[in-house]
Structure 1
Amino acid sequence: MTANEVIENPESRFSAVLMGAARLPGVHINRNAYLRSALVRYCSDDDIRRAIEDTPAAAGIPLDVLDRVANESIRYEAAKAGALSAAAGIPGFVFMPATVPADMAQYFGHMLRIAQKLAYVYSWPNLFSGDSDDIDDATKGVLTLFVGVMFGTQTANTAVGKVAGMISEQALRKLPRQALTKGFVYPIVKKVAGYLGAEMTKQTFARAVSKAIPVVGAVVSGGVTVATYLPMAKRLKNHLASLELTKPKPQVVDAQVVDAAVLGSFATDPSSRQDQGPPLS
């Protein structure tokens, strides 16, 4: 594929922006540190510890508390995105070729930040591998679907629900890499990326128009960013909050472990044995 074909391919265009935004300083959210700081006002130290070691749902944190934390994070990220967008709009028409790509990158960077925060609040596993900032194919896939949900893509909604179902049913501590990179979800990821690439082109044009007049462009740009960012973030929040992952499941003990424990108690405690009649003469 030539460079021109990459530019013209909506899927490749979106993937390039996603990868670039994911590598920006501050975009990677440390799951443990975020949950600790976000929950400290509402939860006990023990609940926070369990939320980090397992998930907020497994720690028994009520959904209304999680919703409150999510809304606070959305407001914080929207304010930051709006302020940076307004700053990018100040130079005006002369510097537009430089400011529009930078504005788009930071905008998507804040979308990825809130996507991670909402995922962790609503009990998704760590989206990045350990403490690494590298974005692998599974992470790229799930972030693409999250952005798709933010843009109101029903296909992305369905795919996110399927991935969440796999995580919930199998009690996974990591993303289901096979499904996201080679399995049944992968074609959906590619389709959503193509749609987002086309939408991104429309947004780039809208942002260029808003920056044509200095100062006024800054105000318009910052306002447009907040006005679009808030409903998209809330759309993702509402979808993640509705999934099975937010509902803690009762702990299931392996049947073999139970059988071994029961047999062991019978072997060591004669009083626990059932009466099997008088001894044979």
Structure 2
Amino acid sequence: MEFTSPEARERYDAVVRAVDQVVVGLDFDGVLSPIVDEPSEAHIHPDAPEVLVALSDVVRAVAVVTGRPARQALALGGLDEVGDAIGDHGKELFLFGQYGNERWSSTSRRVISPRPPHGLSTFERELPGLMRRADAGDAHVEEKGLAVAVHTRRLEDPAAAFERLLPPMRELAARHGLVVEPGRNVIEVRSDGMHKGHAVETLVREQSAGGFLFAGDDLGDIEAFEAVAALREQGLPTLLVAAASDEQSALVPLADVVVPGPDGVLDLLRQLTADAVARTS
């Protein structure tokens, strides 16, 4: 665990002192699951269920906040079973899918989802032609229901394909009233206003949070970081955790703690749990 400043260490200590009021929000890919070439194989880290259950004992709430569809995250993360175990401890696991547009909890067991954004179906029909013109016709297209993502990771030169695709995808998305979210060798198109900052605000309001820890790894987590930073300005204890990688380091300048991927995130959560228990024993 690497603190980015002396103030960051003080923020961690403040979170430990207020831990029973703190909500912990975690991205899925790159935070709870290693980044892999095939998105459908991004299973949760084998140690994560045990760590999340132990963490739930000491914090106000635990939530997974992801760009993935909620049902997909449930399956890849085994979150039904994790939610059962957390429920046995008298707590609830929350899941916000597709940047907060879909919701699930281990109590309700039902995914609540809005209708797909206007213009998305037309965008998807035009996308194959755009990809061919950008010499990226073999990129993997992931249809998410409320969004569509184009992955270049499996191509011969993923970074070059990403750079060729990004400008025309931005232009096409704008014509259909949609926005583009670049990520780690992935470009996602979705409706405007879908972002993880809203999920943070919802959790704070509904859980009466007295503090917040958020861990992310990519550009799609910036709005969540900004929402947590706003809570800090209001006087709440907060901690921002960047799961950094060689591919993406955009969150590092905004973070209080920098860790190496899912292993580092889980080590930090273990330490937080141990420090919370030690403080009350």
Query: Highest Rg: 1 or 2?
Result: 1
For normalisation by structure 1, the TM-score amounts to 0.26
Choose between structure 1 and 2: higher strand proportion: 2
Choose between structure 1 and 2: higher helix proportion: 1
Considering Cα pairs closer than 8 Å and 6+ residues apart, tell me whether 1 or 2 has the greater RCO: 1
